[in-house]
Structure 1
Amino acid sequence: MILAVLSILVLVVGTMTFLYPAAVFPDSSWGFQVLQKMQAGGGFNLLIKPNPADISKSHTEFLTWWSPGQYLAPYLFKSLFKLNLGQSAAITTTVFTLSGIFGFYSFFKRAGFGLIIAAISVALIACQQAFILPYVFYNGGEVLIFGFGGWFLYGCTAIDKTGWKLVVFLLLSGCLGFFCKSSFLWMYGAGCIYLWIKLSKGQQNIIEWIKKGIWIGIPAIAALALIFTLYLSKGENPASSGMGIKLTWQAFSFPLASPLLAGLSIDDMVGGLIYHDDVALLTPFWSLLTVIAAAIFSVILVINIVRRVPNKSYTLLVIVFYSVSVIFFSYNYLRQVNISYEARHLRIIGLLITPGLVYLVSRAHLTYQAAFIFISFVIGFLSFKYFVPGFRQNQLYNARGTSGLAQVSTDQQSLNRIMELDKENNNAIFVFTQPDLGLEIKNNRLIIVDPLDAVEISTKEYYETYTYKGHAGPVYILLPSTYTGVRSSIITHCFPGYNNFKMEQLTPDYTLFSAK
């Protein structure tokens, strides 16, 4: 009954999003730009853009920062059904959401939990903002890994001996998981460690442990070698570089707090404890204090799950994944790599501990059960409160172009002008401060610069990063009207080959600067 209701709700919301497609996160916008270049005849996964040294020429960049699944999965539906990007993204979200529901339900049952606990656990997952977010903003790899993650965990718990099934599973899951989201690699490593311990446990002879390790290691190394050779070796990724070691409390406490931050949506409910796009709900001091407290209670929760849940295969999985996640993310946060402090990166831990949490609550005093039900309703209410205005904004107010995606970075009148100019030119360069607008450019090249109010660098550093020399066709720069003045002057000066920029007030909110 619970699964049937959830499935119907997903189909209803998916249909609504198909009729009025979601907006798109910047990460997925870059992937869709690569898709457009590929459809125009460019090579696989290549981002083609003007060369900063001479904008009359173009240069290519292999986009290793994100995995290809975020745009190739929608492209499959786009090709099969002749849809636009927005509609294809809506189908992708619906399909992978349904896959995630049944995948995690199957895993929870396989992990030894009863039907009711498994179903309630999935219902709790569906109450969270992370579950409904892709229907407001398509987030690519996040929804794809949700659809795949449950089945991967199911496979880890289902395999109980070495053999060809183990080899095939590790080869395919490594490649498919990375296809969904590049950060799957740490989960893949945790899965391999879990399988090694599980298959070797009880063996007194060290040789048997080595043999089991070889069975796991060979296909795992083969999958990683394939991923590295064909993809990761061709460019940078978030973990490939850092700014040096910096010891901070949040570097350790944030990963430790993942069971509560992701499992009970604490990070989402407060709009982000460490990283946030909007105004912070808590001060930095109280945010850090909340993270540290959540880390302490998360450790206590995990200890109780390990002690009290009877299925030891599940508790071993919790120990391994939680330990690997803390080591991996703490190490990278210490190195200050480009991985944000967001619970979405550790969502798999929240999903993994959910049935263990529900099991503990089911055996707790009635007072704790009532408190848990209340918290679940609060989580569900806040997710509903997030979805309804977000969907209505996409439905009624946000601009739409040929991509079909809702555009949050401009209004309809300004977007119409941009698309008109794109049709009139074939050698122009469009400049935006948000990558999603680039999806409406079909006939010309584009440049994406960071918005000046979102970067913490000096004007000199900004020029060094975004100066584009030379001359090509006309340049069109769309900026918020609040940029008129100093900030618009900074951006126009990034194009020294052009002068006498003309200003066209498209609407009260957006201004177009152009030079020919």
Structure 2
Amino acid sequence: MTNASAPAGQDRWLRLAGAIALGVTLLYAIVSVVVRPAMYSDSAWGFVGWYSGKGLPFNYAMAVDQADISKDVVVFPTWWSPGQYILPGLLEMAGLDLGQAITVVVLLCSLLGLVGWFFLYQDFGFPAASSALAVAIIALTRHFALPFGIYNGGEVLLFGIAPWFILLVWRLRQFEWWAVLPLLAGSAVMVFAKLSGLVLSAAMIGAAVMAPIGPWLSKDRLGRAVVAATAVAVMGALFYVVWFSRGSTPTEVHAEAAWWSIGSYVAYVTSASWGAALSLGDLAAWFLLHPSRPVFQSALPIYWLFLPLALATFALVGWRLWRSHAEYLRFVAFLGLGVGVVLVMISARGAGIGTEERHLRIVSLVLFVGIIHSVLDMPGRWVRALFAGVVVVACFYGVTSAAMRAVANSERPLGSRGFRHLAADQALIDYIRSIDTL
């Protein structure tokens, strides 16, 4: 290959990867408009707050008084971030039905996320080819396709917003004092998208402090840490006053502490950080936790099975990138450590947040480009072939699950607001309409 043909070949590859990512996204959106999406119960509860809160201050809603169900009380819902229902709600107010509004929000967040991850990967110092390949693969995964069929609220919003916030943190990692305000504003947007954005924001800021090469306790690093700690402290205080103190959240303890399970939770956060970008945990759960043929009673054994592969991958990435991308390696390591420690402690205390890999999705997406670049840079073929096999399986799972979800949605009853109902059948919906006099 000549020097002139190399850039031309790279341009063709970039166009192909971009066409795949854009084409798949638009195809999912078209199917979603035609078939109409469903939504998970978490998102549905948010919309209940949106509708019953009309005429009340922001995020207040009417609810049934548990002490006397003949009465209503005014509550401030704190379990779900407002972004997941405000954005579609505003579009519905503009004239779209709720199903169409959901599709528009998912489409915009998905495109925003794909572009954001591409620019972030390049800002980490990875070439355009590795970055484009990563984005094209992401567009073919299950987690990317899911919200077009079943709206998952904050997850898709976080996918679109997180890379841009990381890019902001990465470019402000010298942490001058003026950086506090943009960091606070960015963190607020993250929390608006999903409450876990608070943990992610704090972990990202902390990881950016630790990422630069140099003595751990240098004067420069300590100065950056003071600025970062100020931003995180103000962010935490505001969140407590504005939101956390007003009601219960998913972090509340609902069971006895299970400190003996810390090892399993560590395996969970480690393995999910490795595989969530490709939805490998979801794929394994389909085989091993399916309600019709469960092999395990929980997802924790799956993460133990994945753990050796995760550790081997981390070792490979560290070995291949420690010279060329040392700052990136530190960032992703401390990001995973920060988020992982919080999840392990919350889970061990008995909070009911579950052990789904989606909680580590953002960490995994940050790591994903490092895995891809390390594999592409390997001199031997067997590692690339093995990785390609895993990617093909993951992408096949993502596309086929999207197709099966569209078929299933087409057979579900369509509500008056333009979205599909997962639990209620047509007879129940007709009955509710017959007795609804409001």
TM-score by length of structure 1 reads 0.76
Alignment of 1:73 with 2:87, yes or no, is yes
Letter in structure 2 aligned against 1:380: C
Q: Residue in 2 aligned with 1:387?
A: 402
Q: Residue in 1 aligned with 2:118?
A: 105
Q: CA deviation at 1:56?
A: 2.0
Q: Is the 8 A contact 2:157 2:193 kept in 1?
A: yes
Match of 2:105 among 89, 92, 110: 92
Distance 1:260 1:318 in 2: 11
Higher helix share: 2
Q: Residue in 1 aligned with 2:12?
A: none
Letter in structure 1 aligned against 2:406: F
Q: Is the 8 A contact 1:127 1:376 kept in 2?
A: no
Alignment of 1:141 with 2:177, yes or no, is no
Q: Is the 8 A contact 2:53 2:62 kept in 1?
A: no
Distance 2:225 2:301 in 1: 41
Q: CA deviation at 1:203?
A: 6.2
Aligned pair in 2 of structure 1 residues 293, 14: CA closer, same or farther (>3 Å)?
same
Q: CA deviation at 1:198?
A: 3.9
Q: CA deviation at 1:362?
A: 0.7
Distance 1:242 1:267 in 2: 25
The Cα offsets for residues 418-470 of structure 1, whole Å up to 9 and x where unpaired, read as 112103xxxxxxxxxxxxxxxxxxx2xxxxxxxxxxxxxxxxxxxxxxxxxxx
Match of 1:202 among 214, 223, 237: 214
Alignment of 1:152 with 2:165, yes or no, is yes
Q: CA deviation at 1:228?
A: 1.8
Distance 1:280 1:163 in 2: 55
Letter in structure 2 aligned against 1:219: A
| Pairing 1:346-425 to 2, within 5 Å after superposition | 346-364=360-378, 365-395=380-410, 397-423=411-437
Distance 1:280 1:154 in 2: 43
Q: CA deviation at 1:269?
A: 0.6
Q: Residue in 1 aligned with 2:311?
A: 299
Q: CA deviation at 1:290?
A: 3.6
Q: Residue in 2 aligned with 1:64?
A: 78
TM-score by length of structure 2 reads 0.89
The Cα offsets for residues 366-386 of structure 1, whole Å up to 9 and x where unpaired, read as 122122222211111111221
Distance 1:166 1:203 in 2: 23
Q: Residue in 1 aligned with 2:32?
A: 17
Q: Residue in 1 aligned with 2:242?
A: 230
Q: Residue in 1 aligned with 2:127?
A: 114
Match of 1:170 among 169, 183, 198: 183
Match of 2:268 among 239, 247, 254: 254
| Pairing 1:305-324 to 2, within 5 Å after superposition | 305-309=317-321, 310-324=324-338
Q: Residue in 2 aligned with 1:184?
A: 197
Q: Is the 8 A contact 1:64 1:231 kept in 2?
A: yes
Q: Residue in 1 aligned with 2:10?
A: none
Q: CA deviation at 1:135?
A: 1.1
Distance 1:206 1:78 in 2: 53
Q: Is the 8 A contact 1:267 1:273 kept in 2?
A: no
Q: Is the 8 A contact 2:83 2:192 kept in 1?
A: yes
Distance 1:129 1:332 in 2: 27
Letter in structure 1 aligned against 2:103: A
Aligned pair in 2 of structure 1 residues 273, 299: CA closer, same or farther (>3 Å)?
farther
Q: Counterpart of 1:271 in 2: which secondary structure?
A: helix
Distance 2:296 2:161 in 1: 36
Distance 1:135 1:82 in 2: 20
Distance 2:301 2:243 in 1: 40
Alignment of 1:38 with 2:53, yes or no, is yes
Q: CA deviation at 1:153?
A: 1.7
Deviates more, 1:410-419 or 1:225-234: 410-419
Distance 2:396 2:433 in 1: 39
Q: CA deviation at 1:72?
A: 0.9
Greater CA radius of gyration, 1 or 2?
1
Letter in structure 2 aligned against 1:261: G
Gaps of 5+ in 1: 424-442, 444-516
Aligned pair in 2 of structure 1 residues 280, 272: CA closer, same or farther (>3 Å)?
same
Letter in structure 1 aligned against 2:346: N
Q: Residue in 2 aligned with 1:331?
A: 345
Deviates more, 1:323-332 or 1:98-107: 323-332
Letter in structure 2 aligned against 1:196: V
Q: CA deviation at 1:206?
A: 5.4
Q: Is the 8 A contact 1:18 1:87 kept in 2?
A: yes
% of aligned pairs identical?
A: 24
Q: CA deviation at 1:44?
A: 2.3
Letter in structure 2 aligned against 1:340: G
| Pairing 1:205-216 to 2, within 5 Å after superposition | 207-216=219-228
Distance 1:195 1:382 in 2: 34
Distance 1:218 1:325 in 2: 19
Gaps of 5+ in 2: 1-14
What RMSD over aligned residues (CA atoms) do the two structures have, in Å?
A: 2.2
The Cα offsets for residues 389-428 of structure 1, whole Å up to 9 and x where unpaired, read as 2112223x211222211012122233122112103xxxxx
Higher strand share: 1
Letter in structure 2 aligned against 1:354: F
Q: Is the 8 A contact 1:273 1:288 kept in 2?
A: no
Q: Residue in 2 aligned with 1:129?
A: 142
Aligned pair in 2 of structure 1 residues 92, 205: CA closer, same or farther (>3 Å)?
closer
Q: Counterpart of 2:62 in 1: which secondary structure?
A: strand
Distance 2:216 2:71 in 1: 65
